[in-house]
Amino acid sequence: MADGGALCRSETQYGQAGQRLLLANGDTVWVALQGAHVVSWQAAGRERLYLSPKNVWDGHSAIRGGVPVCFPQFNQRGSLPKHGFARNSVWTAGPATVQDAHVQQDFTLASCAPSLALWPQRFEATLRVALTPNELTVTLSVHNTDAKALQFSGALHSYLAVDDIAQARLRGLQGQPEWDALADTHASAAAELQFDGEFDRVYGAAPGLLALQDGVHRLEISQSPGWANSVVWNPGRDKCAAMADLPADGFSHFVCVEAAQVMSPITVAAAGNWQGWQRFRALQEA
């Protein structure tokens, strides 16, 4: 690999087929074909995503951590399985595009008999994973291949690694509408979010950047206007202890900051297209 170059290669890890994108500076991304699920992003010498060591790698159970693609339903807000079926489906990897210090690859999922039995809607979804030095962009596109409009909700349910959740701080949502799903209360977001227990809140998406401070580590987070909401979630100690696919201390090592569509569905006209992205940039240590 030439200096400044990039490459992509097929690999098998955790018993899962996937694709690894690599840059000459050492940054890497690994994407499992199950769910087109980004399970690892290493930038500036550090793993930036949390992946549970207690995952059940059986090819159909949801992967705990990384960047799950929730589609075409967010959580249990509908009649489909929790967070929809995309995260448990096998996606098809397209050819990678490599140019200098940039590599990207598309993964596609199209409607089929099993999906139509759950959701009678024809579609083609594409997840584009793009890697540049210190930066990862994940873009979900939905093409309505049906003769009728489709509606969906969903999220890029990103698990961001932190050394200690008690010390983590998230800034950038100040003043945005906030719904606390645990207390079922509405407020305006504080200037700085801190985490001292279970945390589950839906925000109106901020117009600017979010900043996650984790000790000396900083991560910049942004999302496209196509996503109306940002979701911030951590299960806390007690809920984590009841989750079989997380270790007892797993809650202390991540916070989910999600680009999402929760409160109202996105409508895509017949033969129409929709696109929404989330971007992360690793900053120099404070």
- What percentage of the chain carries pLDDT values higher than 90? 91
Q: What is the pLDDT of residues 246-284, one digit of tens each?
A: 999 999 999 999 999 999 999 999 999 999 999 999 997
Query: Where exactly are the structural domains of the chain?
Result: 6-283
CB atoms near residue 150 (< 10 Å)? 24
Q: What CATH number is given for 6-283 in this structure?
A: 2.70.98.10
Question: Exactly one of 37, 83, 157, 217 is catalytic; which is it?
Answer: 157
Average pLDDT score over residue span 42-68: 95
* Annotated active-site residue in 83, 217, 253, 258: 258
Characterise 78 by phi-psi region: left (phi > 0), alpha (psi -120 to 50), beta (else). left
Helix, strand, or coil here: 250?
helix
Q: Is the peptide bond before 72 cis (omega within 30 degrees of 0)?
A: yes
Please, how many CA atoms are within 13 Å of residue 59, restricted to the half-sphere of its CB? 5
Q: What per-residue confidence (pLDDT) applies to 3?
A: 41
Active-site annotation holds for 258: yes
Is 157 catalytic? The answer is yes
